Amino acid sequence: MKTLLPKALRAGDTIGLISPSSHCAYPDKINQAVRYLEAHGYRVKASRYLNCIDTDPAIADRQKLHDIHAMFSDPAVHAIVCLRGGAGATRLLGQLDYGLIAANPKIVVGYSDITALSLAMLAKVGLITFSGPMLATELYEPDPYTEEHFWGMLTSPAYSRSLINYEHHPITCLQSGTVEGRLLGGNLSVVTSLLGTPYFPHIEGEALLFFEDVNEPVYRIDRMLSHVGNAGLLTQAKGLLFGYFSTGTPLPVAEEQRLQYSMEYYSAMLPPDAVAIRGLSFGHIRHMMTMPVGARCKLHVAADGLFSFGTLEAVVRA
Give dist(CA 232, CA 171) in Å, integer: 26
Report, as residue numbers or ranges, the catalytic residues.
112, 212, 284
Which residue type sits at 88?
A: G
Residue 219's Cβ-count burial label (10 Å; 0-12, 13-18, 19+) is: exposed
Give dist(CA 92, CA 106) in Å, integer: 18
Length of the chain: 318
Strand order across the 43-46 sheet: 43-46, 14-18, 77-82, 107-109, 129-131, 291-293
Cβ(189)–Cβ(89) below 8 Å: no
Give dist(CA 141, CA 148) in Å, integer: 13
